[in-house]
Amino acid sequence: MTQSHGFETLAIHAGQEPDPLTGAVVPPIYQVSTYKQDGVGGLRGGYEYSRSGNPTRTALEECIAALEDGTKALTFASGLAAEDCLLRALCAPGDHAVIPDDAYGGTYRLFAKVAARWGMAYTPAHAGDLDAVRAAIRPGVTKIVWCETPSNPLLGVADIAALAAVAHDAGALLVVDNTFASPYLQQPLGLGADIVVHSTTKYMGGHSDVIGGALVVKDAGLAGELTFHQNAMGAVPAPFDAWLTLRGLKTLGVRMDRHCANAERVVDLLGRHPNVTEVLYPGLPGHAGHDVAVKQMKAFGGMVSFRVRGGEEAAVGVCNRTELFILGESLGGVESLIEHPGRMTHASAAGSPLEVPGDLVRLSVGIESADDLLADLERALG
Ligand SMILES: Cc1ncc(COP(=O)(O)O)c(C=O)c1O
């Protein structure tokens, strides 16, 4: 498989040659902890112990690297385990990071409650405002600039190429959490980012049945550092989890097309609804990041947030009234989900500069029949 192949071809075949022993067209689940050595140090295919390497995980990592146009992907037991590995591999006590002022609540908690205890400082800045990011950088001390684009749950858009230039001018690395877009819609490494982060739990897995995370890089030195820490820290995915994620990846492209198409129908309905005061979606021409999104994304994704007339209780009421949109955390699965970020996914940011508005509702628009989704929302909005 080479990069000259199309995205869907890579999703189905990269890292997934038919099994040499049996011809099985799908990589087997190597449910194994250790491997026979042919004499001391005589490893077959480089495998010695499944924390260090497992063939099912290798298949997943090769496929993700191909889809993100990277040279190396590393997978983890969760998105946060991937983020933790990244921070501990690349930063030390005394280092500083610039993080988005609308970061995913769990990412914020990792910086605020875990990394801070180990002596790492952070400054929240609006990733869509290059001057704000520049001002937040501490020359010589800032090691990473972090961005999520589109962001969770406010759907903010950051200009990846411009942020990469700002970070690199300061000698820092640009990390992009590409969970919301998925590599089908956006490939940050090609735009200058140094490291891509994924919660593969979301669109990549795509079926709400497995938790996982990934880091992807182009640079060989970074790949070496992260590979060392992946093994030294050990938060790797189980073979079955790697297999489930790989199965999800095969349909990523077709799923994303439907997620995007359904989201556009939902956005259209919300935009006309009297009980909705604002719709947050990068595909809207009035969205502050629309032009950047057009430049760096293939389409605008399946995540939609909106603000409800009547405030927090009204927003909670909408979340409680949908039937097809399931009330639950997470996103990116085939089924539509609804949630109240302030009380659910982003509760850990309450009282911080990253607190989200109480009247906000977040939708993960699934791939069901769009008419059914619209009817459900219309009923819930009243
Ligand atoms: C944008 C984003 N990044 C990272 C994560 C963390 O991933 P995980 O839940 O797989 O640990 C999430 C989880 O919701 C997320 O939405």
**44 Cα: distance to centroid of ligand 1 (angstroms):** 35
Which residue's structure tokens are 């993960």?
A: 364
pLDDT tens string 8-20: 999 999 999 999 8
Give the pLDDT of residue 155: 97
pLDDT tens string 141-190: 999 999 999 999 999 999 999 999 999 999 999 999 999 999 999 999 99
Contact (CB, 8 A) for 223 and 98: no
Q: How confident is the model at residue 252 (pLDDT cuts 50, 70, 90)?
A: very high
Q: How confident is the model at residue 352 (pLDDT cuts 50, 70, 90)?
A: confident
Give the pLDDT of residue 2: 67
Which residue's structure tokens are 């990069």?
A: 3
Could you identify the atom of ligand 1 that is nearest to the CA of residue 81?
Answer: 11
3-state secondary structure of 79: helix
The closest alpha carbon to 128, from 145, 105, 106, 110, belongs to 145
CA angle 75, 81, 86 (to 5 degrees): 80
The domain locations on the chain are 7-249, 253-381
Task: Name the strand (E) or helix (H) holding 265.
Answer: helix 252-272
A 10 A CB-CB count for 22 gives 8
Q: How far apart are CA 212 and CA 77, in angstroms?
A: 5
Give the pLDDT of residue 4: 86
pTM metric for this prediction? 0.97
The closest alpha carbon to 358, from 301, 319, 300, belongs to 319
Average pLDDT over the chain reads 97
Q: Which amino acid is at 161?
A: A
**Region 64-87: what's the mean pLDDT?**
98
Task: Identify the weakest region by mean pLDDT among 225-239, 341-355, 359-373.
Answer: 341-355
Is the predicted pLDDT of residue 268 greater than 90, yes or no? yes
**79 Cα: distance to centroid of ligand 1 (angstroms):** 5
Supply the residues annotated as catalytic.
Answer: 51, 104, 177, 202
CATH 3.40.640.10 correct for 7-249: yes
Question: 55: which DSSP letter?
Answer: H
Decide the pairing of beta strands 173-177 and 195-199.
parallel
Q: How far apart are CA 367 and CA 339, in angstroms?
A: 17
Q: How far apart are CA 100 and CA 126, in angstroms?
A: 6
3-state secondary structure of 126: coil
Decide the pairing of beta strands 142-148 and 173-177.
parallel
Is the predicted pLDDT of residue 103 greater than 70, yes or no? yes
The closest alpha carbon to 114, from 158, 155, 151, 80, belongs to 80
**177 Cα: distance to centroid of ligand 1 (angstroms):** 9
Is the predicted pLDDT of residue 267 greater than 90, yes or no? yes
The closest alpha carbon to 191, from 283, 296, 289, 68, belongs to 296
Q: How far apart are CA 140 and CA 73, in angstroms?
A: 28
33: left (phi over 0), alpha (psi -120 to 50) or beta: alpha
pLDDT tens string 124-155: 999 999 999 999 999 999 999 999 999 999 99
Residue 146, strand partner residues: 175
Task: Name the strand (E) or helix (H) holding 148.
Answer: strand 142-148
Which residue's structure tokens are 């940050």?
A: 188
Contact (CB, 8 A) for 45 and 225: no
**Region 39-53: what's the mean pLDDT?**
96
Give the pLDDT of residue 60: 98
CATH number of 253-381: 3.90.1150.10
Q: How far apart are CA 161 and CA 251, in angstroms?
A: 28
In this structure, the residues whose C-beta lies within 6 A of any atom of ligand 1 are: 78-80, 104, 106-107, 148, 152, 177, 179, 199, 201, 211, 213
Which residue's structure tokens are 């009297």?
A: 274
**Region 242-263: what's the mean pLDDT?**
98
Is the predicted pLDDT of residue 348 greater than 90, yes or no? no
- Pocket test of ligand 1: the residue of 84, 102, 152 to mutate, having most ligand atoms within 8 Å of its CB, is 152
Q: Whose CA is nearest to atom 14 of ligand 1?
A: 330
